[in-house]
Structure 1
Amino acid sequence: MVKISEFQIKDVVNVSDGRRLGNIGDIEINLTTGRIEAVVISGSGRMLGIFGKEEEIVISWKNIIKIGQDVILVRYKGFEEKLSDEG
Structure 2
Amino acid sequence: MDCRLSDLRHKEVISEIDGTRLGYVDDIIVDTKSSAVVAFVIFARIFFFGIFGKSEDYIIPWEKIKLIGEDTIIISCKTPKPEKRPKKRLFLGKN
Matches within 5 A, 1:7-86: 7-45=8-46, 52-79=53-80
What amino acid is aligned across from residue 22 of structure 1 in structure 2? G
Distance (Å, rounded) in 1 between the aligned partners of 2:18 and 2:45: 16
What amino acid is aligned across from residue 77 of structure 1 in structure 2? K
Runs of 4+ deviating beyond 3 Å: none
- Size of the aligned set, in residue pairs, is 77
Q: Give the equivalent residue in structure 2 for 1:85.
A: none
Judge conservation of contact 1:26–1:40 (CA < 8 Å) in 2.
yes
Unpaired runs of at least 5, structure 2: 83-95
Unpaired runs of at least 5, structure 1: 83-87
Kindly, what percent of the aligned residue pairs are identical?
32
Distance 1:34 1:59, change over 3 A: same
Q: Say which one has the larger Rg.
A: 2
Please, which moves more after superposition, 20-29 or 37-46?
A: 37-46
TM-score (norm. length: structure 1) = 0.77
More helix by share: 1
RMSD: 2.1
